[in-house]
Amino acid sequence: MNRGRLAVLATALTLAALPASPALARAATPVGDASPPPGGWTLTLVGKKKVVLPIVKVPARFAWNGAKAGDINPTLRYVYKGQRLQRLLGLVDGGKPSFNVARAKKGYKIRLICRDGYKPTFSSRILFKKGKLRTDLIVAKRKMVDSVLQPLPEAEAPFRLVGGPPITQPFDNKLSARGIVRIRLIF
């Protein structure tokens, strides 16, 4: 066996010998792996404080219809359901008791960390349109496929930022952020 294969085998044996814990399992999971970690997917929000939400605790109350969004990426031409971005940010932005509008208007960075290593960063000012808070930016966990609302497919799971128009604008004209596992506020 060559050294590379021996190193991979040694790493696998070491990880197999470690005690099973969700933290260790998450650390050992490859970045792009689409299978949920033991205990299920979570969304970690980091700002003035840190909140870890299991996927079942993230509501899917708000919808965004990508079919009405015009000429966009075909993977977005569905109805997505999830929670408004500002409601999630309100849990960690230091606002009492909810989203801190003044701080967001002043400006801070929002970084989305995705499973595949993609880390789009954009200004909190994008949450406003003509001075009013936008309601069309959704952190989705469900998608309507063939008239059935279901969890996001593996390629998009656990969360996907959708909304707009145009959703691609803050992300250098790439796809909307998918596979989101962490949202970090940088003050």
Domains of the chain are 1-30 (no CATH), 40-186 (3.90.420.10)
Q: Which residue has the tokens 């993977």?
A: 75
Helix, strand and coil percent figures for the chain, each rounded to 5: 25, 30, 45
Q: Which one, of 44, 45, 15, lies nearest residue 30 by Cα? A: 15
The one-digit pLDDT tens for each residue of the chain (187 residues) are 444 444 444 444 444 444 443 333 333 344 456 688 888 999 999 999 999 999 999 999 999 998 887 767 777 889 999 999 999 999 999 888 789 999 999 999 999 999 999 999 999 998 998 999 998 899 999 999 999 999 999 999 999 999 875 555 555 555 578 999 999 999 9
Q: How does strand 137-145 pair with strand 109-114?
A: unpaired
